[in-house]
């Protein structure tokens, strides 16, 4: 019997053991399965550390981030694994022994994991910086939770204050930076959390004041309520928090005085009450706390002195009280007995000297005492304070020599000495400041020279040494400071030239060298820095201003340099810069005899080169005159050889016009010059008439050559004026005529854009008439490539379509309009003569007719002198072909140009036939128009004779002298 009972009992034990073993194996399989699902749901490269590919049972307790107690998982720490996904459900059932879950710095989707609410054993939950969004559920089921960190997430809805108050095991609550919560006020029920040590509710939309009942939570060691716009006063009851070590109430709207009761918190180490509206004095009791390490009270309205008791502190590391109204002196022993690290007292009204022992223990990194009333000198011990990162003492009354070591601090990024009374100089030892990025020492009395060693501080970004007494040249080695963004050296005594190496500073935005004694020329290479700020005013610079600076409108930045000039004339009333001498610029060299000898040799070589070039140019000019054309280079078409007179807003420059004066752009020749059709970079077409300015012999040769060519053709631009001679009077006459023509505004007058006046030729720039003249428009005529040269007939399959002929209604309208316009300008009324003058009426691209500008006076090149022809009454606007017609000179069909016409076409001084007889112009006719007053057109007085031409019509007599206002009455219709 006994044996039977023993057997049964043994059997039961074996069955129980087998069952327990089966349950253990099932539990192990469940934990491994959940960890495998977790790897699949939370994706990220870091999850490759968990290897489930082994055929043997997985030892997941050896996985990184997994903590086990025995064979059960008790903790999972995946902090900063950068995983993305959802937390699989059933975590509490699969991991029943889980106590710590740390998923900070990942991206948990789907809101707060609801499965965590069933984890009765969970003690620590950290989902900070996990991008969790949505509303929070009731957290009270997690009664075992001791630390809850949900900071820096995207929660919204109501703050779970009530449910948190029921979690009596909590010791740490951190909801920092969750601004999406609804506005709430902390309930007094939180006082039930007797074990709570850390309460961080900053930036959680909390409103109201600092609760006075917080003084009852005596277990608190860390209290932070910053960034909540709390109002009212700081309650004195906080003085009962005997265990408090950190008090953070910054970025609120608190007001009133700092309570003295805070001096009772003997364990207090960190106090931050900055960015509020606190006033009154800093309590001495607060500054006397034995463990005080950080005191930050900046941006308030505190007044009075900084308590001297701070100088006796053995723990103080950071003192930040800037932007207040503090007065008095800094504690003399500040930093003497502690590892002092930061001194920030800027923007107050402090007086007295700098604390001499601030760096006594060699830990000081920041000295920021800007904008105070400090006096005295910089303590010499500061130069040996090697850990300094920022040294800023600007806007005070400090004086004396700057210790050389201040410029050579090896770790300093900013050294700011501006707006004091410092003396001394920048030492060569500055090369040791390897981390220096900003050097500010403006408005002091520094002297000496800039050391070339400053270029060894390769990390410099800003240099401001303005308004000092620094002399000598600018080191050329500064061109190695490739990171330099600002170089301000104005208001010193620098001399010598501007180094061209500064053009290598491609990052430079501000270059101010004004108010010095710099000499020489402005380097052209510096224009590569434009459109950045350049200022060279108030120096002794000479030579031409670079054209790029003129184009950017920087003439004011070179004012006060009497030796500067401009290479071409500017139509600016606010510039006093003279025109540069064309023969080269005079440079004064003061030096020894070898310099003079070298200069003499250079001058001799230059003279020989110039003589050879002169001979070559004369030969080119002669060849060009024989050909009737010349290249811009041989005619002095450089930018600096022309004076510009503009009458309209120009969208082109001299380069574009001069470079286009080539043979393929020629559309006509005449006795006074050549006409070019030029397409601008903007796509606009202009006509350029190039007028010769040469001797009488050259004119005779050109006229003779033109006669051999036959009747010239051209493009009717200009007014038959063969401006000639190289004398001063002719230049004045040219300017007078051009100013008169440019001042005319009428819808039926060909627009004169500008005039370029040079030593060898003059250029008149007109608008281009693309549709020919009134003779050609109704007939569809097209001009050939040149006089007497018929255009080659292309093959049939390459021929362009025939020009569309204007039909009879439009033809009659154009003829009538042109006839009326010419009649208003004084054309005789004979029908045949009006028919012959239709070539002078140009055809605009909008089917409007236009005529050349009014000829107030006409200059014609004679054999020995320049004579002027006064047009007959009512001849305003007559073209050069009409002048020749009146003189009895007839041409052939070559005068009918397409769109524009030049004076050599029909008796314009170089065509076939007899040259017109002219009388010298007497008196002061046209003086009013010559002054540049606008001339408007109206019906003039008709000529007395309308029949056939009189026998003496070949001799053009001057009209009776009348004032210009009488000869040109007020127009009936004006257009601006």
Q: pLDDT tens across 117-151, in order?
A: 999 899 999 999 999 999 999 999 999 999 999 99
Q: Which residues pair with 279 in a beta bridge?
A: 301
Q: With beta carbons less than 8 A apart as the criterion, state whether 179 and 203 touch.
A: yes
Q: Which residue has the higher pLDDT, 828 or 546?
A: 546
Tokens at 370, concatenated? 């800007």
pLDDT reported for residue 198: 98
> Beta 462-464 vs 486-488: how paired, if at all?
parallel
Query: What does pLDDT average to over the chain?
Result: 77
Residue 742 has φ and ψ, to the nearest 5°, of: -70, -20
Helical pair 696-709 and 593-627, crossing angle rounded to 10 deg? 30
Cα 692 from Cα 671, distance rounded (Å): 9
Q: Which residues contact 351 (CB under 8 A, 6 or more apart)?
A: 327, 328, 329, 372, 373, 374, 375
Instruction: Give the C-alpha separation, 11 to 460, whole Å.
Output: 88
C-alpha 226/C-alpha 593 separation (Å) is 78
pLDDT score of 572? 54
Note if the bond before 336 is cis, omega within 30 degrees.
Answer: no
With helix as H, strand as E and coil as C, how does 311-355 read? HHCCCCCEEECCCCEECCECCCCCCCCCCCCEEECCCCCCEECCC
Q: Which residues contact 680 (CB under 8 A, 6 or more apart)?
A: 651, 652, 656, 686
- pLDDT bin (cut points 50, 70, 90) of residue 971 is very low
Distance separating alpha carbons of residues 754 and 673, to the nearest angstrom = 17
- What's the CA gap between 115 and 32, in Å, rounded? 18
What is the rounded average pLDDT of the residues 661-665?
85
The whole-number average pLDDT for the span 431-446 is 97
pLDDT band, very low/low/confident/very high, at 226 (cuts 50, 70, 90): very high
Backbone angles phi, psi at 689, to 5 degrees: -100, 120
Residue 216 structure tokens: 């009852």
pLDDT-wise least confident of 241-250, 816-825, 932-941? 932-941
User: Is 690 part of any known ligand binding site?
Assistant: yes
Measured CA to CA, the distance from residue 340 to residue 343 in angstroms comes to 8
The pLDDT of 173-181, averaged and rounded, is 97
Among 330, 329, 280, smallest CA distance to 300 is for 280
Is residue 173 over pLDDT 60?
Answer: yes
What is the phi/psi pair of residue 839, to 5°? -70, -15
Read off the pTM. Answer: 0.60
Query: pLDDT for 357-397, tens place per residue?
Result: 999 999 999 999 999 999 999 999 999 999 999 999 999 99
Instruction: Read off the DSSP letter of residue 954.
Output: G
Question: 825 and 876 in contact (C-beta within 8 Å)?
Answer: yes
Q: Map residue 522 onto helix, strand or coil.
A: coil
What one-character DSSP code corresponds to residue 166? Answer: T
Contact assessment for residue 296 and residue 272, using Cβ atoms and an 8 Å cutoff:
yes
Distance CA 67, CA 100 (A): 9
966 - beta bridge partners?
none
Region 415-433: mean pLDDT is: 97
Tell me what the mean pLDDT of segment 406-431 comes to.
Answer: 97
Confidence of residue 26 (pLDDT cuts 50, 70, 90): low
* Residue 30: DSSP 8-state: H
Which helix H or strand E contains 618, and what residues bound it? helix 593-627
* Whether pLDDT at 927 is above 50: no
Residues with Cβ within 8 Å of residue 674, at least 6 apart in sequence: 628, 629, 666, 668, 689, 690, 902
Asked whether the bond before 531 is cis by omega within 30 degrees of 0, the reply is: yes
In this structure, the chain runs to a length of 976
Q: What is the predicted pLDDT for the residue at 896?
A: 35
Regarding predicted confidence, which is higher, 919 or 662?
662
Average pLDDT over residues 551-570: 85
pLDDT at 729: 56
Query: How does residue 655 score in pLDDT terms, banded at 50, 70 and 90?
Result: confident
CA atoms of 111 and 670, how far apart (whole Å): 89
| Residue 217: CB atoms within 10 Å | 21
The SS3 assignment for 651 reads: coil
Rounded to whole angstroms, the Cα distance separating 105 from 108 reads 9
pLDDT at res. 760: 73
On the question of pLDDT at 5 being above 70, the answer is no
- Tens digits of per-residue pLDDT, 724-775? 344 455 666 667 767 777 667 666 777 888 888 876 778 888 888 877 665 5
pLDDT surpasses 80 at 356: yes
User: What pLDDT digit, counting tens, does each position of 856-911 carry?
Assistant: 333 333 333 333 333 333 333 333 333 333 333 333 333 333 333 333 433 333 33
Is residue 961's pLDDT more than 60?
no
pLDDT at 338 over 70: yes
């Amino acid at each position: 019997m006994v044996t039977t009972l023993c057997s049964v009992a043994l059997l039961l034990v074996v069955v129980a053991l087998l069952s327990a073993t089966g349950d253990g194996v099932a539990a192990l399989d469940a934990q491994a399965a959940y960890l495998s699902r977790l790897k699949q749901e939370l994706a990220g490269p870091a999850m490759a550390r968990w290897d489930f590919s082994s055929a043997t049972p997985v030892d997941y307790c050896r996985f990184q981030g997994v903590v086990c107690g025995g064979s059960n998982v008790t903790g999972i720490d995946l902090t900063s694994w950068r995983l993305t996904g959802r937390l699989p459900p059933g975590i509490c059932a699969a991991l029943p022994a889980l106590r710590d879950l740390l998923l900070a710095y990942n991206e948990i989707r789907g809101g707060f994991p609801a499965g965590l609410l069933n984890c009765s054993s969970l003690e620590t939950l950290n989902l900070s910086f996990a991008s969790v969004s949505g509303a929070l559920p009731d957290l009270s089921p997690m009664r075992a939770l001791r630390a809850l960190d949900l900071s820096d997430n995207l929660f919204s809805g109501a703050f779970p204050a009530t449910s948190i108050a029921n979690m009596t095991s909590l010791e740490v609550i951190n909801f920092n930076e969750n601004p999406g919560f609804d506005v709430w006020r902390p309930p007094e029920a939180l006082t039930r959390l007797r074990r709570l040590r850390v309460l961080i509710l900053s930036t959680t939309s909390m409103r109201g004041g600092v609760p006075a009942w917080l003084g009852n939570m005596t277990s608190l060691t860390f209290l932070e309520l910053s960034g909540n716009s709390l109002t009212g006063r700081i309650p004195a009851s906080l003085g009962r928090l005997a265990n408090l070590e950190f008090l953070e109430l910054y970025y609120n709207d608190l007001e009133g005085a700092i309570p003295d009761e805070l001096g009772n918190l003997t364990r207090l180490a960190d106090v931050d009450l900055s960015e509020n509206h606190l006033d009154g004095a800093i309590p001495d009791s607060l500054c006397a706390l034995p463990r005080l390490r950080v005191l930050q009270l900046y941006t308030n309205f505190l007044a009075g002195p900084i308590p001297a008791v701070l100088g006796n502190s053995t723990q103080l590391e950071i003192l930040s009280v800037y932007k207040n109204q503090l007065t008095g002196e800094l504690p003399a022993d500040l930093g003497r007995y502690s590892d002092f690290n930061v001194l920030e007292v800027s923007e107050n009204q402090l007086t007295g000297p700098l604390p001499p022992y601030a760096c006594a223990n060699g830990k000081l990194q920041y000295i920021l005492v800007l904008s105070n009333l400090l006096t005295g000198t910089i303590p010499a011990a500061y130069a040996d304070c090697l850990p300094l990162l920022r040294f800023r003492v600007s806007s005070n009354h400090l004086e004396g020599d700057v210790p050389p070591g201040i410029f050579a601090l090896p770790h300093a990024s900013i050294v700011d000495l501006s707006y004091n009374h410092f003396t001394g100089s920048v030492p060569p030892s500055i090369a040791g400041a390897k981390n220096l990025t900003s050097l500010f020492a403006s408005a002091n009395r520094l002297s000496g020279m800039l050391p070339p060693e400053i270029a060894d501080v390769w990390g410099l970004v800003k240099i401001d040494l303005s308004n000092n007494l620094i002399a000598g040249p600018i080191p050329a080695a500064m061109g190695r400071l490739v990171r330099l963004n600002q170089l301000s050296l104005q208001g010193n005594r620098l001399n010598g030239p501007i180094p061209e190496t500064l053009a290598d500073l491609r990052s430079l935005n501000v270059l101010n060298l004004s108010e010095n004694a710099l000499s020489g020329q402005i380097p052209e290479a510096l224009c590569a820095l434009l459109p950045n700020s350049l200022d060279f005013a108030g120096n002794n610079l000479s030579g031409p201003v670079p054209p790029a600076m003129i184009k950017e409108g920087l003439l004011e930045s070179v004012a006060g340099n009497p030796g500067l000039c401009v290479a071409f004339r500017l139509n600016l009333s606010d510039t006093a810069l003279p025109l540069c001498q064309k023969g080269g610029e005079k440079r004064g060299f003061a030096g020894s005899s070898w310099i003079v000898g070298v200069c003499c040799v250079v001058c001799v070589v230059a003279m020989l080169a110039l003589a050879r070039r002169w001979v070559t140019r004369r030969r080119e000019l002669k060849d060009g005159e024989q050909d009737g054309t010349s290249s811009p280079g041989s005619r002095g078409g450089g930018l600096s050889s022309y004076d510009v007179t503009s009458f309209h807003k120009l969208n082109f420059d001299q380069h574009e016009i001069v470079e286009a004066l080539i043979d393929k752009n020629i559309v006509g020749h005449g006795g006074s010059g050549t006409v070019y059709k030029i397409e601008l970079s903007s796509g606009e077409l202009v006509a350029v008439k190039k007028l010769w300015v040469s001797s009488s012999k050259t004119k005779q040769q050109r006229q003779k050559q033109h006669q051999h060519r036959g009747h010239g053709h051209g493009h009717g631009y200009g007014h038959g004026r063969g401006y000639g001679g190289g004398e001063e009077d002719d230049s004045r006459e040219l300017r007078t005529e051009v100013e008169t023509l440019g001042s005319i505004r009428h819808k039926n007058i060909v627009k004169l854009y500008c005039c370029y006046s040079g030593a060898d030729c003059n250029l008149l720039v007109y608008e281009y008439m693309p549709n020919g003249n009134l003779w050609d428009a109704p007939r569809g005529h097209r001009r050939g490539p040149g006089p007497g040269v018929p255009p080659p007939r292309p093959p049939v399959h390459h021929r362009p379509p025939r020009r569309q002929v204007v039909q009879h209604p439009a033809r009659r309208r154009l003829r009538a309009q042109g006839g009326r316009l010419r009649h208003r300008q004084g054309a005789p009324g004979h029908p045949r003569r009006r028919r012959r003058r239709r070539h002078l009426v140009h055809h605009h691209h909008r089917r409007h007719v236009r005529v050349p500008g009014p000829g107030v006076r006409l200059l014609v090149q004679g054999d020995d002198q320049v004579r002027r022809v006064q047009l007959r009454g009512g001849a305003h606007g007559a073209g050069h072909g009409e002048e020749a017609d009146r003189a009895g000179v007839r041409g052939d069909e070559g005068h009918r140009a397409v769109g524009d016409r030049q004076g050599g076409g029909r008796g314009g001084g170089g065509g076939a036939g007899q040259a017109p007889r002219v009388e010298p112009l007497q008196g002061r006719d046209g003086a009013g128009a010559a002054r540049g007053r606008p001339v408007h057109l109206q019906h003039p007085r008709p000529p007395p004779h309308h029949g056939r031409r009189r026998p003496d019509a070949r001799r053009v007599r001057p009209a009776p002298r009348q004032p210009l206002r009488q000869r040109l009455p007020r127009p009936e219709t004006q257009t601006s």
